[in-house]
C-alpha cells in the first residue's frame, strides 16, 4: 500500500508548485447552482476577469453546487488550502463569523449595492470584519454579494408588524430567526426547496425570503400576498481566498484579483437589484399582490426591529466580541456608501 501511495503521489504533480512561467490553476468552489447570480454574475464573472487581467497567468477549475463540500465547509476548506477560493456566507456561519452577520441585520438597508459596498469596506484589509473574523481564520475576501430585501410572504395582506404575532414562519436562519422572534412569530427552519410544500400544506403560515428566491420555487402559487419594503434584512455572501496563498501570489496577480473583486462587487449588486425588481413583477404576473408599506407603516416596522440590532450587539459583547463597534462601523459605512451613491448620481 505504501508503495501504491508513493507511486500515485509521484505520478501527479500536486498543484502547490507551478513550474516557472506556467499558468497557475486555482481550485474554486461554492454551494450555488450555476444559474444563481452568485455563481454566474459572481464567481464566474470574477474568474473570467482575473483570467483576462493576468493574460491567462491564472487559470481556474470551478466546482459549483456543493461538489466539494456543503455551504458551511468552505470556510475551513479555504483556510486549510484544500480549496483555493471558496464561498463564505456569514448567515450560515453564525458560529464562526457572527460579527459578519452585521450586514444582514434588519432595518439597515434594502439596496444590494449600498449594503455590498458597506460590507466590502468592513471586510477589506484593515476593515473591522477583516481584522476580527476573516484574518484570524486565514481568509481574505475577494468580493461581496448581497441578496437584498427579505420580505414576508403570506395569504392575506400584512402591513403591520403586530400581524406577525403567533405566525409559524419559515426562516432562512441567521439573524432572521432573531427578527421573527422579536416580532412575535415562531421561526421554522426550512430549506428553500421544502418551502412550497410546507406552505401549501399549512405547515407554516408565512415565509421570509427574498423575492429573487421566491421565483424559482413558484411561491406565487402558495401565497397571495407579500410585503414590499418590510425591513427584514438581507443575505450577505463573500468569496474568500486563503491568506497564505495570497501571500504566495506575485504582485501582478494580487492586483488583478483586487481589481476583479471591485468590478465583481459592483456588477453583482447591480444584477441582484435588477433581479429583485424582475422577481417582483414575475410574482405579480403570477397573481401575487405586493403590499407597499406607507412611510408611517415603515416607521412602525423600523421601531419593531430596532431592538433586534441592539440585542444582537449586546449578545456579541457578551461573547467578548465587539458587537457595538461592528454595528456602528456598519452604519457609518452605509452612510458613506449612500453619500457615494448620491455623488455618483450627480
Q: Is 90 in the site for other proteins (CB under 8 A)?
A: no
Q: Residue 183 is placed in which grid cell? A: 416580532
One symbol per residue from 116 to 145: x for binding other proteins (CB under 8 A), - otherwise; what is it? --------------------xx--------
Is residue 307 a contact residue for other proteins (CB under 8 A)?
Answer: no
State the nearest-atom distance from the C-beta of 260 to other proteins, in Å. Answer: 24
C-alpha cell at position 180: 421573527
87 part of the interface to other proteins, by CB under 8 A: no
Nearest-approach distance from CB 9 to other proteins, in angstroms:
5
Q: Is 168 in the site for other proteins (CB under 8 A)?
A: yes
Piece of the chain touching other proteins by CB under 8 A; list 30-38, 78-86, 119-127, 285-293 = 78-86
Name which of 93 and 113 has its Cβ closer to other proteins. Answer: 93
Query: Does residue 321 contact residue 98 with C-beta atoms inside 8 Å?
Result: yes
CA dist 67 and 308 (Å) reads: 36
Q: Which of 69, 106, 120, 233 is close enough to bind other proteins by CB under 8 A?
A: 69
Host H or E run for residue 227? strand 225-228
Q: How far is the CB of 172 from other proteins (least distance, A)?
A: 9
At 161, list the grid cell. Answer: 408588524
How far apart are the C-alpha atoms of 192 and 189, rounded to whole Å?
10
The footprint of other proteins on residues 47-66 (CB under 8 A) is 61, 63
Among 18, 166, 250, 287, binds other proteins (CB under 8 A): 166
Handedness of CA 126, 128, 132, 133 (dihedral sign): negative
CB of 126 closer than 8 Å to CB of 257: no
Do 167 and 205 meet the contact criterion of CB atoms below 8 Å apart? yes
DSSP 3-state assignment of 95? Answer: coil
Min dist CB 190 to other proteins, Å, is 9
Nearest approach in angstroms of CB 308 to other proteins is: 12
Residue 220 is a binding residue for other proteins (CB under 8 A): no
CA distances from 345 to 123, 215, 331, 338 (A): 25, 31, 21, 10
Q: Is 201 in the site for other proteins (CB under 8 A)?
A: yes
d(CA 305, CA 181): 10
User: What are the strands, taking DSSP E only, across 30-132?
Assistant: 58-63, 85-88
Segment lying near other proteins (by CB under 8 A), choices 113-121, 157-165, 193-201, 271-279: 193-201
Q: Select from 177, 164, 161, 168 the least CA-distant residue to 198.
A: 168
Please tell me the distance from the alpha carbon of residue 99 to that of residue 80, in angstroms, as a whole number: 22
Please give the grid coordinates belonging to residue 340: 457615494
Residue whose entry in the numeric block shows the C-alpha cell 481566498: 241
Among 40, 51, 76, 266, binds other proteins (CB under 8 A): 76
Q: Which is nearer to other proteins, 76 or 254 (CB)?
A: 76
Does 77 sit near other proteins (CB under 8 A)? yes
Catalog residues that contact other proteins under the rule CB under 8 A: 1, 4-5, 7-9, 11-12, 14-16, 27, 61, 63, 67-70, 72-73, 76-77, 80-83, 94-96, 98, 101, 136-137, 166, 168, 171, 173-175, 177-178, 180, 186-189, 193, 196-197, 200-201, 203, 315, 319-320
Amino acid at each position: 500500500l505504501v508503495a501504491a501511495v508513493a507511486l500515485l503521489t509521484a505520478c501527479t504533480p500536486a498543484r502547490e508548485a507551478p513550474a516557472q512561467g506556467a499558468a497557475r490553476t486555482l481550485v474554486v468552489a461554492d454551494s450555488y447552482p450555476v444559474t444563481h447570480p452568485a455563481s454566474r454574475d459572481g464567481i464566474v464573472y470574477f474568474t473570467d476577469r482575473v483570467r483576462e487581467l493576468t493574460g491567462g497567468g491564472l487559470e481556474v477549475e470551478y466546482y459549483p453546487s456543493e461538489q466539494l463540500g456543503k455551504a458551511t465547509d468552505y470556510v475551513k476548506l479555504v483556510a486549510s488550502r484544500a480549496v483555493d477560493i471558496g464561498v463564505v456566507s456569514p448567515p450560515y456561519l453564525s458560529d464562526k463569523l457572527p460579527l459578519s452577520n452585521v450586514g444582514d441585520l434588519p432595518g439597515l438597508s434594502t439596496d444590494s449595492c449600498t449594503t455590498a459596498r458597506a460590507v466590502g469596506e468592513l471586510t477589506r484589509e484593515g476593515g473591522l470584519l477583516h481584522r476580527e473574523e476573516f484574518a484570524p481564520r486565514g481568509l481574505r475576501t475577494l468580493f461581496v454579494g448581497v441578496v437584498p430585501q427579505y420580505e414576508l410572504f403570506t395569504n392575506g395582506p400584512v402591513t403591520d408588524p403586530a400581524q406577525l404575532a403567533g405566525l409559524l414562519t419559515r426562516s432562512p436562519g441567521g439573524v432572521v430567526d432573531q427578527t421573527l422572534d422579536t416580532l412575535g412569530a415562531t421561526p421554522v427552519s426550512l430549506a428553500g426547496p421544502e418551502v412550497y410544500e410546507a406552505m401549501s400544506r399549512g405547515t407554516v403560515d408565512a415565509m421570509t425570503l427574498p423575492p429573487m428566491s421566491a421565483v424559482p420555487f413558484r411561491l406565487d402559487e402558495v401565497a397571495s400576498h407579500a410585503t414590499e419594503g418590510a425591513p427584514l434584512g438581507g443575505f450577505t455572501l463573500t468569496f474568500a481566498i486563503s491568506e497564505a496563498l495570497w501571500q504566495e501570489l506575485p504582485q501582478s496577480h494580487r492586483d488583478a484579483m483586487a481589481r476583479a473583486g471591485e468590478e465583481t462587487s459592483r456588477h453583482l449588486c447591480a444584477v441582484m437589484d435588477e433581479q429583485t425588481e424582475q422577481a417582483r413583477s414575475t410574482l405579480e404576473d403570477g397573481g401575487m399582490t405586493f403590499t407597499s408599506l406607507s412611510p408611517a407603516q415603515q416607521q412602525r416596522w423600523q421601531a419593531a426591529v430596532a431592538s433586534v440590532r441592539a440585542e444582537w450587539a449586546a449578545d456579541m459583547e457578551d461573547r467578548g466580541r465587539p458587537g457595538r463597534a461592528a454595528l456602528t462601523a456598519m452604519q457609518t459605512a452605509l452612510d458613506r456608501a449612500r453619500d457615494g451613491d448620491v455623488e455618483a448620481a450627480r
